[in-house]
């Protein structure tokens, strides 16, 4: 298994555990966050960009794949607001790879792993073109005027898909 951290900062030498901002996690336990290779596309966007990410898994009904994905042979979508498209085109990202030792699965659907120990990356890569990086991973990019309708639609499907809603506090308000 390969684990990654994506950042707009290309000069991180060590990842030190920080208290989580999520209210469902213990604020007294610092964490280093990583994600698996399967969900890496969820973070090939500017850090603060709101996005709705979802993909099919082995239990996803074929009828749902046909209905929700423009390319059934590529059942993975990252949706962003149109207001973020230009920043998505311009942002430079850095992928840091970690050894999986010391990490524990935090959320299978989102592919999140956490460690309570300081982590030193094994490698670092630059991503100069997020659109190309998504395309290379066979991900459909959807550019929408707003994300809330799609967010609610995907959440209502429960476990029929793997999904992650990131930085939704930055999304335009619902209509």
Distance CA 106, CA 110 (A): 9
pTM of the model: 0.93
Q: Give per-residue pLDDT as tens, 12-56.
A: 999 999 999 889 999 999 999 999 999 999 999 999 999 999 999
Residues 95/45, Cβ–Cβ less than 8 Å: no
Distance CA 118, CA 73 (A): 39
Q: Give per-residue pLDDT as tens, 56-97.
A: 999 999 999 999 999 888 899 999 999 999 999 999 999 999
Helix (H, G, I), strand (E, B) or coil at 153: helix
Buried b (16+ CB within 10 A) or exposed e, 59-75: ebeeeebeebbeeeeeb
Helix (H, G, I), strand (E, B) or coil at 7: strand
Residues 43/51, Cβ–Cβ less than 8 Å: no
| Domain ranges for the chain | 3-170
């Amino acid at each position: 298994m390969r684990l990654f951290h994506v950042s707009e900062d290309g000069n991180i030498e060590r990842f030190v555990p920080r208290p989580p901002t999520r209210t469902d996690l213990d604020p007294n336990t610092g964490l280093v966050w990583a994600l698996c290779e399967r969900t890496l596309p969820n973070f090939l966007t500017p850090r603060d960009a709101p996005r709705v990410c979802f993909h099919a898994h082995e239990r996803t009904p074929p009828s749902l794949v046909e209905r929700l994905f423009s390319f059934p042979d590529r059942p993975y979508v990252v949706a962003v607001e149109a207001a973020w498209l230009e920043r998505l085109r311009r942002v430079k990202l850095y992928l840091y790879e970690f050894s999986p030792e010391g990490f524990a699965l935090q959320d299978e659907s989102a592919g999140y792993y956490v460690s309570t120990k300081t982590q030193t990356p094994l490698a670092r890569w630059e991503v100069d073109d997020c659109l190309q990086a998504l395309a290379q991973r066979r991900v459909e990019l959807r550019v929408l005027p707003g994300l809330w309708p799609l967010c609610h639609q995907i959440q209502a499907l429960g476990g029929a898909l793997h999904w992650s809603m990131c930085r939704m506090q930055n999304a335009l308000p619902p209509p």
